[in-house]
Every structure is written in structure tokens, then in C-alpha cells.
Structure 1
Amino acid sequence: MNRTTTALLAALEALITVAIGIGISLVPLTLLWAIEHGFSADWFSLWRAAVDIWLLGNGVAIQVELPSAVVAGTGLPAAADPFTVSLAPLALTLFSVVMGARAGVRAAATRYWQSAVAAGIGTVVVLATVTAVSAADRALSPSLAQAVIFPALVYGLGLAIGVVRGWHRMPAGHDGRIGRLAERIQDRLDEKFDRFDRAVVGAALRGGVAAVTGIVGVSAVLLGLLILGNFGLVTSLYQSAQLGVAGGAVTTLAQIAFVPNLVVWAASWLVGPGFALGTGSSISPVNTIVGPIPGLPILGAVPSGDLTFGFLGLLVPVAIGFLAATLVRPRLIAALRGRPLVGRLLLAAVGIGVVSGVMLGLLAWFAGGAVGPGRLVDVGPNPWLVAAFTAVEVSVAAAIGMASGSTSSGERHAPVSLRTADRSR
């Protein structure tokens, strides 16, 4: 394909991504409009709502100014003043990243991948700007500056992941320029760091990713068990809301969009700091302080009192950190054969903790935000506390894992091949 065709296809993929992202909300809202209102209400208000939801999922804050009649119905005096909603439904964020990654893989397979990336990001910028302008009104107004930047950043992150993944899959020599670029980067790293340093860094990265994956996986299971264990309360909240069939379906879809947020909240609970459902509230393994919360049915799964053995949840990140270290330890010892082990094993353990802390802290940052006025401006985990607790717990557990077992296990591994830069040392 030539440069123009490549750019046009990338722009089309970005257009489809934005269209599906908005359609995920627009289609069920339109069905609700048709069933409940018989096509009589203003459909364009549904378009604005769907665009606001999509922008919110891409990190754009929404300024809300409620009419006086609605404020009186909420019973919240703080709702009379404009407030910001910034809690992103991470399912929509993940969708944009995945679609961007798919486009990035295809772009990496062409000679004009730079044009594809630029066309994709540029298309998202234009579409996000146009839709944000069309969705703005007095009640709900997305931040135009954020709409220009944040959706493109989210999609661009996916593109970057896809391009790197596509390059990794390419056979040697598939594209001369890409191959030479990868070789220059690798040679530069070889000049600055020997293979022993790279082995420690690689072990820290692999172990940190494994630890975060394990913690998030256990958190997803825990969330499922909490929902099943509190299914009666969740059902009663559905019934008390009197949403009807269509309204219940739309509410369920909205809650599904926030399931990744709830998984990260559960991970924050396991790590220790927990999360908040409003200023002054705290839900953690050691105590639970909950004030008035939104009446979403899925929040019925939130623990409402102190758990007698809640502190046992803190053992999960410790156990996972230990297992992550034992997984990467044999390969690291094999790579360090003939070198002092204690210092490098300890450094790798600290690296595993730092990587996992940074990753889980970022997830906690993305999973929190504001959902309303007053005390509802503080919802979700504290990312700094989550990062610090995770780094300490996983580092200590990883150090124990690195110290366990025999240091002679590396002898059973095949010799590690040396690059040219290493042989010349």
C-alpha cells in the first residue's frame, strides 16, 4: 500500500473506534427512549449524553450544572452549585486502548507506519473536538481542552502498544528502516548496560507485571464473590429503584462499564489503603466507614461493617509478590552465573516492588474521580497510598522469594548467548 492508502485506512479505523465507543451508550439509550417515551422526547439529548459518556471514558471531565427542579429532588444543597464529574468508566477506556493496539499492529506491518499513526491520532482529535462541541449545553458541558487532548492520548497509547507489538512479531529484515531502528536502540542499550544489568531490569519488569496481574486477578475473583454473596441486597436495590425493564437494562450496562474500576478498588482493598465512597469514608481491610452513597445496585456488594478477618486480605499481595519472585528467579540466576548474587537478587526484588507499585498506583489513579457535588468529589482509592503500600509489601515478599531456594539452579539452564557488545567487554 502507498502512503495515502495507509493513512486513509488508519483514519477509517479511528473513525470506527469513535463511532462504536459512542454507540455503546447511544444504542441502549435510544432503545430506552423508544420504549419508555414512544419517540416523543428530544433524541438529541441522548446524543449529548452518549458523547459525554464516551468523553468521560477517555478521561474528559464533565462540568454539571443542574436545574433548580432537579436540585430540589436530590435533596443535596451542594448540587445547586456547578460541580465536576471525572470518574471514568474504565471499560470504555480499555476499549479505546484495545482498538488502538489493533490498529497499531496493522500499522507496524506497513512501510508508512508513521503516517498511519498520525492519521489515526489526528482523526480522533477532530472527532473528539466536534462531538464535544455538539454535546455542550448548560447542564452538561465537557471540557473542550481535555476533549482535544485526552481521547487522542488514550487512543495513541493503544497505537504505541500495537506498533511495538507489531515490530516484535516481525521477522528479521521485514522492513529495513524499522530493523535498523530497533538495532540502533538495542546497540545503544548494550553500550550503556551489560547483560547482567539487563537481566536484573528484565527480572524486575517481568516480576512486577506478574505481581500486578496476580493481584488484579484475585481482585476480580473477590469482586465476583462479593456480588454473589450480596446478591439479595443488589436485587432489592434494583427493585426499590423501580427502573423498569429498559431502565434496568441500561443501568446494568452502565454498571458493567465501571466493573474494571471496581476491580481496581478491590485490589486497593487487598493492598491495604482501601478506597473511599465520598469524603470522610474509608473501606479497607481494617475498618469500614461509609456514609450516604449513590443508590447503584452494584454498590450493595460493598462491605457495610468491619470484617473480623479482613486483615487476611493483606496476605494476598505478599503471597503474590513471593510467587512472582520465585517465577523470575531461576532465569535471573542463570543469567548472573559467575557473578555475585546477593546484591543483584535484592535489587531485582526491590525493582519488582517498584514496578508493581507504579503500575497499581496508576491503575488506582485512573479508577478514581468525582461523581457528584459535596462529599462525592472523592471516590476511589488514593493512588499514592496504593503505590507505596504495594511497593513495600511486594518488595519484602519478593526479597524473601529471591532468598529462597538453591543458587545452583542456574547451572541446569542452557548457556546464555552473548551479544557482540558483551563479548567485547
Structure 2
Amino acid sequence: MNRTTVALLAALEALIAVAVGLGIVLVPLTILWAVQFDLGIDWAVFFKAAADVWLLGHGVDLTITLPATTAAALGLPGASVPFPMTIALLGFALLALLFGVRTGLRAAQTPYWRIGIVSAVVVYGLLGTVIALSARSALVAFPLWQGVLLPTFVFALGVAVGVCAGIARHARGDTDAAARGIRARFAALAPATRDGILAALRGGTAATALLLAAAAVLTALLVVVNFGTIIGLYEGLHAGALGGSVLTLGELALLPNLVVWAASWLIGPGFALGTGSSVGPMGTQLGPIPSLPLFGVLPQGELLFGFIGLVVPLICGYLAGVLVRSRVAAVPGSARTAGWSAATALGIGAVAGIQLGLLAWWSAGAFGPGRLHEVGPNPWLVGVLAAIEVAVAAAIGLLSRARR
């Protein structure tokens, strides 16, 4: 393919990514506009609402000002004054990341991958800017720079991951000058240092992936076990089939947040659903929370055996250590010491702690007025405890072979 074709295909993929992300919200709202409201309201209201949700999903901080009648009807403390909505619906961010990875992988298969990624990121950024400019209203405000930069950053992050994976997969590093230079600098490091860095990155990422997988399984089990409660909450809302469908889409967008919160629960700190509340392995203390049926999965009261969940991060750290033991064995005997293994374990813990701390930070935020301005885990606690737990377990996994 020539440069023009690569640029056009990358731009098309960016367009599709934006269309799918926005359409997931806009299509149900348009159906609601036609069926429930008989086209009696300006469609622009629903478009702005979809655009606001799309921006929120990419991490844009919204400030919502409700009409006095709506605020009075809700009866929530603090609803009568402008309040922040800063919790990112990670389902949209995950979708943008996956589209970005796909675009990056395709671009990496061509000699003109730089043109492809620039075209895709620029088009996504321009479309995001158009959406941000059209989303502002008297009810919803946000920093314009966030609306322009954050969606672009999320997509660009996925593109970067895809390009790096694609270059490594197709061994294009031998012909690309930039990749060749990076490899040369990395190869110049001492073998023990180089292998330690690679082991820390791979082991830490593996520990994070394993812990998130365990959290996803736990979330799925909670949904199955509490399915009756969830259905009862749906029925109590009297949203109807169409309203229930829109609500379900919103909950699916929030589901990745819930998985990260479950990981925080397994690590130990748990998470909050409002100021003064806590959901952790030792028990649950909640005040009034939003009437989302998905919150029916939350455990109630004290948990006699909740501490068992704390074993999961240790298992993940141990498996991560076992996974990278071959790199320890490959290090020359003079450098392969218990201290080197301990340093590698600390690196694994640091990588996992940083990754999980960032995910906890990204999944938390304000979810409404009043006490709901504090929802989600504490990223510092999650990151520090995850680093300690994973590092200790990884050290055991790394050293177990050496003692045989």
C-alpha cells in the first residue's frame, strides 16, 4: 500500500471508532426520543446527552447544573447547586483503547506506519473536538481542553500499544531505524540489568492481568449469585423495556470500573460508594447509594471469610515470579544472586503497583451530588499495598527454584 492508502484507511478506522463509541449511546437515546417522547423534544438534547456520556467515558470532568424542579424531584442533598461528575465510564475508554490497538496493529504491517498513526490520531482528535464543541450546554459544562485532549490521548495510547506489538510481531525492528536504535541502546545494558528490567515489566504486567482476571471472575459470580436482587431493583425503577435497555447500556459502560473496584477489594483497601462508606474484605458500610441495579451485587454487612480474598494478589504475584524464573536462570552465575532476585521482585511489585494504582485512580471520581463526590478506591493505598503483596509473593516465586 502507498502512503495515501495507509493514511485514508487509518483515518477511516478512527472514524469508525468514534462512530461506534458515540453510537452506543446515541442510538438508544434516539429510539427513546422517537418512541417515548414522540419526537416532541429537540433531538439535539439527546445528541448532547450522548456526547456528554462519551466524553465522560474518556475521562472528561463534567459539571452538571440541574433545573430547580429536577433537583427538587430527586431529593438528593447538593443537587440544587452545580456538582461535579468525574467518574470515567471505563467501558468507553476500553472500547477506544481496543480500536486504537487494532489501528496500530494494522499500521505496523505497512512501511508507512508513522503516517498511519498520525492520520488516525489526528482524525480521532478532530472528531473528538467537534463532539466536545457541540456537547456544551447550560446544564453540562467541562474544560474544553479536556474534551479535546483526553479522548485523543486514550485512542493514541491504544494506537501506541498496537504499533509496538505489531512491530515486535512482524520483526520490523530490523529495518526501522528508530526501533533499531532503541534495541541497540537496550542491548548495550549489562545482561543482568537488561534481563531484570524485562522480568520486572513482564512479571508486573502478568500479575496485574491475573489479578484483573480474578476480579472479573469474582464480579461475574456476584452477578450470578445476586441476579434476583438485580432484577428486583430493575422492577422497582419502573423504567420499562426501553428505559431499562438504556440503563443496562450505562451499567455495561460502568462494568470495567466495577472490575477494578473488585481488584481493589481483593488487594485490601476496597472502595467507597460515598463519603464515609466502605466496601472491603472485612465488611461493607454503606449509606444511601444510587439506585443502579448493578449495585445489587455489593456484599452486605460483615464478611466472616472476606480475608480469604487477600490471598488472590499473593497467588498472582507468586505466579508472576514463576513466569519470569527462566530469565533469572539465564543470568550468568556471577550476577544471579538472591539480591538480584529480590531486586527483580521489587521491580515486579513496583510495575504491578503503578499499573493497579493508575487503574484505581482512573476508575474513581465523583458520581453525583453531595456525598457521592467520593466513589471508588483510593489509588495510593491500592498501588502501595499491591506493590508490597506482589513483590513479596514474586520473590518467593523467583527464589523457590534457586533453593532446589
Give the TM-score, by structure 1 length: 0.91
Equivalent of 2:316 in 317, 320, 343: 320
Say whether 1:168 aligns with 2:164.
Answer: no
Cα pair distance change 1:172/1:31, threshold 3 Å? closer
CA–CA distance in structure 1, aligned partners of residues 171 and 213 of structure 2: 33
Q: How does 1:15-164 map to 2 (within 5 A)?
A: 15-164=15-164
Paired position in structure 2 for 1:260: 256
Q: Deviation per CA, 1:41-98, whole angstroms, max 9, x where unpaired?
A: 3222111111111111111111200000001011124111111111111111011111
What's the offset of the Cα at 1:243? Answer: 0.7
- Any conservation in 1 of the 2:173–2:180 contact (CA below 8 Å)? no
Further displaced range: 378-387 or 336-345: 336-345
Match of 1:83, as an amino acid?
F
Paired position in structure 2 for 1:280: 276
CA–CA distance in structure 1, aligned partners of residues 354 and 262 of structure 2: 17
Further displaced range: 276-285 or 182-191: 182-191
Match of 2:184, as an amino acid?
D
Paired position in structure 2 for 1:227: 223
Say whether 1:237 aligns with 2:233.
Answer: yes
Equivalent of 1:370 in 366, 374, 380: 366
Q: Secondary structure at the match of 2:111?
A: coil
Paired position in structure 1 for 2:178: 181
Say whether 1:334 aligns with 2:327.
Answer: no
Match of 1:70, as an amino acid?
T
Cα pair distance change 1:14/1:340, threshold 3 Å? closer
What's the offset of the Cα at 1:257? Answer: 1.0
CA–CA distance in structure 2, aligned partners of residues 172 and 375 of structure 1: 52
Say whether 1:202 aligns with 2:198.
Answer: yes
Match of 2:105, as an amino acid?
V
Equivalent of 1:307 in 276, 298, 303: 303
- Any conservation in 2 of the 1:63–1:143 contact (CA below 8 Å)? no
What's the offset of the Cα at 1:304? Answer: 2.0
- Any conservation in 2 of the 1:52–1:142 contact (CA below 8 Å)? no
Q: Percent identity?
A: 48
What's the offset of the Cα at 1:141? Answer: 2.4
Further displaced range: 264-273 or 338-347: 338-347
- Any conservation in 1 of the 2:91–2:254 contact (CA below 8 Å)? yes
- Any conservation in 2 of the 1:319–1:397 contact (CA below 8 Å)? yes
Paired position in structure 2 for 1:293: 289
Structure number with bigger Rg: 1
Paired position in structure 1 for 2:375: 379
- Any conservation in 1 of the 2:55–2:151 contact (CA below 8 Å)? yes
Match of 1:203, as an amino acid?
A
What's the offset of the Cα at 1:21? Answer: 0.9
Q: Deviation per CA, 1:354-387, whole angstroms, max 9, x where unpaired?
A: 1111111111111111111111111111111000
Q: Secondary structure at the match of 1:76?
A: coil
What's the offset of the Cα at 1:123? Answer: 1.5
What's the offset of the Cα at 1:330? Answer: 3.1
Paired position in structure 2 for 1:413: none
Q: How does 1:210-221 map to 2 (within 5 A)?
A: 210-221=206-217
CA–CA distance in structure 1, aligned partners of residues 166 and 393 of structure 2: 35
Cα RMSD (Å):
1.7
CA–CA distance in structure 2, aligned partners of residues 71 and 80 of structure 1: 5
Equivalent of 2:345 in 336, 344, 349: 349
Match of 2:25, as an amino acid?
S
What's the offset of the Cα at 1:230? Answer: 1.6
Further displaced range: 103-112 or 303-312: 103-112
CA–CA distance in structure 2, aligned partners of residues 375 and 257 of structure 1: 22
CA–CA distance in structure 2, aligned partners of residues 121 and 264 of structure 1: 27
CA–CA distance in structure 2, aligned partners of residues 299 and 217 of structure 1: 20
Match of 1:166, as an amino acid?
G
Off by >6 Å, runs of 4+ in structure 1? none
CA–CA distance in structure 2, aligned partners of residues 266 and 237 of structure 1: 21
What's the offset of the Cα at 1:181? Answer: 2.1
Match of 1:384, as an amino acid?
W
For structure 1, list consecutive stretches of 5 or more residues without a partner in the other structure: 409-425
For structure 2, list consecutive stretches of 5 or more residues without a partner in the other structure: none
Q: Secondary structure at the match of 1:84?
A: strand
Cα pair distance change 1:288/1:157, threshold 3 Å? same
Cα pair distance change 1:399/1:79, threshold 3 Å? same
Cα pair distance change 1:126/1:330, threshold 3 Å? closer
- Any conservation in 1 of the 2:21–2:92 contact (CA below 8 Å)? yes
- Any conservation in 2 of the 1:333–1:341 contact (CA below 8 Å)? no
Give the TM-score, by structure 2 length: 0.96
CA–CA distance in structure 1, aligned partners of residues 59 and 274 of structure 2: 20
Cα pair distance change 1:329/1:66, threshold 3 Å? same
- Any conservation in 1 of the 2:283–2:300 contact (CA below 8 Å)? no
Paired position in structure 2 for 1:401: 397
Q: Secondary structure at the match of 2:79?
A: helix
CA–CA distance in structure 1, aligned partners of residues 330 and 131 of structure 2: 55
Q: Secondary structure at the match of 2:299?
A: coil
Further displaced range: 351-360 or 30-39: 30-39
